[in-house]
Amino acid sequence: MEPIAIGIVDENEIFRRGLVACLATDISIAVVYDGDVVPDGNNVALAITSTAVAQTLMTGLPLVVCTDTPLPDQARELNQVMGVLPRATLKPSQLLAGVRAAASGLQVNLLDAPTCDLSTRNVEVLRLLAQGAATRQISDSLGYSERTIKHAVAEVLDELGAKSRAEAVAIGIRRGLI
């Protein structure tokens, strides 16, 4: 599988370097450009930008915008905004999940996402659910009883406000939990 070609266009060099470092941890993602302006002829599948850049771009590229304020309508009108991520509180897991989801064609908005405090165990249960694991498989993998895993799944569904395992996985992806 070929890596997702990502361009990072942001006026803040330190922020760009942080994004590059986070994205470099995932072999399914390749940063092919980072700078403060969009180069001509650069072949990227998705660009990560700031609000200021998104308001001036007109490339037709799918964008993930890192911002701490609601995205202006002008930025949405000029571009195909696939994702909005919180700039000041962005976690590596949110960045990676947001980029993967946006590259797959899903709309991602973590700026408005309610916070949730899943335990480490429940995040691991959610990740295994995303891989299609059944209760027994999760139990064997994590070393807990099936009853404990059933309880953990119920906690995950409740905390995320999901009605099914599939919905919990979708919410987890959108919120950058998995």
pLDDT tens for 19-48 read 999 999 999 999 999 988 776 666 888 899
**Per-residue model confidence (pLDDT) at position 40:** 65
Locate tokens 């919180």: which residue? 86
Locate tokens 């037709």: which residue? 60
Cα separation of 92 and 7, whole Å? 17
Average pLDDT of span 133-161: 94
**Closest listed residue to residue 102, CA positions, set 66, 68, 130, 77:** 66
**Per-residue model confidence (pLDDT) at position 118:** 82
User: What dotted CATH number matches 120-174?
Assistant: 1.10.10.10
> Does 150 score more than 80 pLDDT?
yes
**Per-residue model confidence (pLDDT) at position 54:** 83
> Does 152 score more than 80 pLDDT?
yes
For 121, the token pair is 């165990």
**Per-residue model confidence (pLDDT) at position 156:** 94
User: What dotted CATH number matches 4-109?
Assistant: 3.40.50.2300
How far from chain centre, in Å, is Cα 159? Answer: 19
> Does 83 score more than 90 pLDDT?
no
pLDDT tens for 163-174 read 999 999 988 877
> Does 117 score more than 80 pLDDT?
no
Query: What is the pTM assigned to this prediction?
Result: 0.66
**Per-residue model confidence (pLDDT) at position 104:** 86
Question: Domain coordinates of the chain in residue numbers?
Answer: 4-109, 120-174
Q: For the chain, where are the alpha helices, taking DSSP H only?
A: 13-23, 51-54, 73-78, 92-103, 120-130, 135-142, 146-160, 165-174
Average pLDDT of span 94-106: 88
The per-residue pLDDT of the chain, averaged, comes to 86
Q: How far is CA 111 from CA 39, 52, 76, 77, 86, in A?
A: 28, 16, 15, 19, 5
pLDDT tens for 5-15 read 999 999 999 99
**Confidence category of residue 90, pLDDT binned at 50, 70, 90:** confident
State the DSSP code for 64.
E
More confident residue, 75 or 96: 96
